[in-house]
Each structure stands twice: as structure tokens, then as C-alpha cells.
């Protein structure tokens, strides 16, 4: 696997100089942030980003994300132009050597939380989600915008979007996703780019908006739309793990064996109730997800793609973009790297014992 780290470009207070010092770090996950959603990403901007990263000894391994314009998710007639632009962006990214693109199909809101600085017993802070609080939140009143999203909307824009979504139920969203996938995967195949859809975070409907990339059954349905390695998943343990019904190691083995996991987000969360959770340190002991089992499952399917630690807590007095500080994500990366080394060595010694016994 290729350990990678998300970097928000030049304005990110965490520099590439710091990231390259994290043991085991190879790849950068980034995007072009100053092109409006739906417009084509110019080759010059992409090439500049590639070079900036390369000259620090790292490689731009994943684009996260090329955002999908809401008109595509809504299935409006204007989607055609945005889909053509998306296809062109895939071509432009491929021409600069990009092989993996992450995106999501969540209506209006990307990841959603009720608090960005939930305090843990050790004094660190993290992002958390409490159903009762979210149910009371009215996005049309509060100008809901969470730092870390690639996009957020003004109140008037939100009203228009919510009106449009009033007629989009889950089945309609499936249709709109199918339409989109059928237009972009052939281009991704031509260009040999692996697309990776990110699960909905959290994996259930919020604010009355439909969400469909939520569980094994729906991921299977999605992958069956086009049965191609270019139509794959960004398997996010934190997002899918928010639902206790998702058996993550089993899902990794199932989708990984079919070569459909194109990108991994490894993050831990602690479930505290039905649809209540807070994020935690990456180590298994702190959350509801057994990271050792995640790594075992990845090793079983010979996962060789990019993986990144995901949201970190704020520790050691660090301030900054919630979820995207340096310290806790760096600890996460090293912990994941350690687990991976242990799992590989364990598997190698088991196979040595087996060969010995067979001989
Ligand atoms: C949260 C991220 C998501 C992710 C998008 C992918 O921190 O995992 O915002 O980038 O959903 O399109």
C-alpha cells in the first residue's frame, strides 16, 4: 500500500516540508481549490501542483475530490455541460499522470457533524455527531458550513437546492448517479484513471436529503452499474463504520477480492449510541473499529493502492482546520504503517511455516 496524506495546497498551514518528514510517507492527496465547482480544471494548474509535490520527493497520488456539480446529482438538463466538463477534467488529470480520482455523490452536504470541538477525557478535541443535535439543526437558518468541505453554499443557494431536492428520492438519486457513471467511467477507462466514490458520511439520510452510498448492499448495487476496475470505491472506515451494521473487514475482503477498492481512508470513530459517535485516535483501543482487523483484511486482498490516515484530533495545542491538523494524522499514519508491517511479517512467517510443512 502507498501511505499518503491530504494536503490542501499552498494555503494549507501544514507544509509539504513537514509532511515529507512523516515516516513512511509517499503520496499526497490534494485538489485544485480555485476552480469553481463544475468547471474544467486546466492542465497548467494541475501540472503546477504535480511539480510542486514532486520537487519535495513526494507524488500526487490521488485527487480528492473532483466535486460533482449539484445539477448532476439533481439530474437537471443543465447537467450535460457539467458532465462534459467532468470528462474533460478526467482527461486533463490523466495527461498529468494522475491515476486515482475520489469523489462523492452526497446531496448538498459532504461530511456532517454536530460539533467540531468535542472534548475527549484527555483534553484533546475531535469532531462528533449526535443525532439529537443534528435533528434540531436547520441548515436553511444557520448557513451551515464546515471547514474542510470543498464547497459550501449561501442561504439563498441552499433554499433553491432544497426545493429541487424535494422531488429527488433515493431511487431518483440512483438514476442520476447511474446516468453520471455511465458517462464518466468510459472516459476513465480510456484514460486509465481509477475512480473512487466516497461513502456518505454519516451513512444515513440527513436533513431529509437522500443518501445512498451507505452499506454493503448499496455499494454492490453501485459497483454493478458498471463492472469495471475503473469504477471503484474509496473505502472510508470512519464513514461506513458509523453504522454498527457495516462489517468492515468482511466488506474489505469482499470488495477487495474483486479489485474494487481504489483508495482507502483509515480513521477510527467511537460509536456512543444509535447514530451517535465521535472521532477518536486511530488506535483500535480508542474507537469502535479494530484497525488491526482492517489491516489484516487489506493484506488478505493484497491491497496495493493509496491509503491515508483520515481526520485527526487536535492535540498538543494545535489549532487549524478541524480534522486536518498535523500531529494526530501523523501519529495515525505511523500507527497504520506499524500495523501493516506487523501484518505483512506475520503473513510471511505463516506462509514460510506452511511451505515448510508441505515440503
Ligand atoms: C472528509 C473527507 C470528505 C471527502 C469527500 C470525497 O474529510 O473524507 O470530505 O473528501 O467526501 O469526495
Give pLDDT, residue 154: 78
pLDDT of residue 150: 60
In which residue ranges of the chain is pLDDT below 70? 142-152, 359
Q: How far is the CA of 221 from the centre of ligand 1 (A)?
A: 21
Of all helices (H) and strands (E), which one includes residue 104? strand 100-104
Domains of the chain, earliest start first: 2-358 (3.20.20.150)
Sign for the CA dihedral angle at 22, 262, 246, 175 comes to positive
Q: What is the number of the ligand 1 atom nearest to the C-alpha of 239?
A: 8
Q: What angle do CA 284, 288, 293 make, to 5 degrees?
A: 50
Residue 231 host element (H or E): strand 231-236
Catalytic residue annotation: 198, 236, 265, 310-311, 324
| Residues 140-150: b if buried by 16+ CB within 10 A, e if exposed | eeeebebebee
Number of residues that make up the chain? 359
Write down the pLDDT at residue 155. 80
Answer for the pair 67, 103: CB distance below 8 angstroms, yes or no. yes
Smallest CA-to-CA distance from 286 within 308, 315, 264, 250 is with 315
Q: Which pLDDT score is estimated for 144?
A: 64
Alpha carbons 153 and 357: distance in angstroms, whole number? 63
Q: Which atom of ligand 1 is nearest to the CA of 65?
A: 12
* Per-residue pLDDT reduced to its tens digit, 262-285: 999 999 999 999 999 999 999 999
Q: What burial class does residue 183 get, using C-beta atoms within 10 Å of its C-beta: 0-12 exposed, 13-18 middle, 19+ buried?
A: middle
148 lines ligand 1 (CB under 6 A): yes
Determine the 3-state secondary structure of 285 from DSSP.
Answer: helix
Say if ligand 1 is within 6 A of residue 324 CB.
Answer: no
Write down the pLDDT at residue 1. Answer: 95
Amino acid at each position: 500500500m502507498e501511505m499518503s496524506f491530504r494536503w490542501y495546497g499552498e494555503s494549507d498551514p501544514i507544509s509539504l516540508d513537514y509532511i515529507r518528514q512523516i515516516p513512511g510517507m509517499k503520496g499526497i492527496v490534494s485538489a485544485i481549490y480555485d476552480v469553481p465547482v463544475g468547471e474544467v480544471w486546466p492542465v497548467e494548474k494541475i501540472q503546477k501542483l504535480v511539480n510542486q509535490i514532486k520537487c519535495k520527493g513526494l507524488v500526487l497520488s490521488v485527487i480528492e475530490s473532483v466535486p460533482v456539480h449539484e445539477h448532476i446529482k439533481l439530474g437537471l438538463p443543465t447537467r450535460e455541460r457539467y458532465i462534459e466538463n467532468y470528462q474533460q477534467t478526467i482527461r486533463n488529470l490523466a495527461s498529468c499522470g494522475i491515476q486515482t480520482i475520489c469523489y462523492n455523490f452526497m446531496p448538498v452536504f459532504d461530511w456532517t457533524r454536530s460539533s467540531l470541538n468535542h472534548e475527549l477525557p484527555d483534553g484533546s478535541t475531535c469532531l462528533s455527531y449526535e443525532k439529537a443535535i443534528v435533528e434540531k439543526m436547520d441548515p436553511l437558518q444557520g448557513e451551515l458550513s464546515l471547514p474542510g468541505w470543498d464547497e459550501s453554499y449561501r442561504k439563498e443557494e441552499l433554499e433553491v437546492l432544497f426545493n429541487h431536492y424535494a422531488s429527488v428520492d433515493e431511487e431518483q438519486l440512483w438514476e442520476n448517479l447511474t446516468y453520471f457513471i455511465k458517462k464518466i467511467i468510459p472516459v476513465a477507462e480510456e484514460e486509465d484513471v481509477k475512480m473512487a466514490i466516497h461513502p456518505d458520511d454519516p451513512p444515513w439520510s440527513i436533513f431529509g436529503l437522500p443518501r445512498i452510498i451507505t452499506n454493503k448492499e448499496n455499494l454492490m448495487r453501485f459497483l454493478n452499474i458498471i463492472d469495471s476496475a475503473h469504477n471503484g470505491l474509496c473505502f472510508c472506515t470512519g464513514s461506513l463504520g458509523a453504522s454498527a451494521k457495516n462489517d468492515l473487514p468482511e466488506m474489505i475482503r469482499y470488495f477487495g477480492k474483486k479489485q474494487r477498492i481504489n483508495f482507502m481512508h483509515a480513521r477510527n470513530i467511537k460509536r456512543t449510541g444509535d447514530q451517535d459517535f465521535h472521532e477518536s485516535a486511530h488506535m483500535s483501543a480508542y474507537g469502535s473499529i479494530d484497525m488491526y482487523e482492517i489491516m489484516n483484511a487489506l493484506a488478505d486482498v493484497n491491497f496495493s493502492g493509496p491509503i491515508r490516515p483520515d481526520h485527526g484530533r487536535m492535540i498538543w495545542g494545535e489549532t487549524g482546520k478541524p480534522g486536518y491538523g498535523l500531529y494526530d494524522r501523523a501519529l495515525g499514519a505511523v500507527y497504520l504503517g506499524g500495523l501493516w508491517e506487523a501484518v505483512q511479517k506475520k503473513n510471511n512467517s505463516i506462509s514460510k511455516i506452511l511451505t515448510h510443512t508441505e515440503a
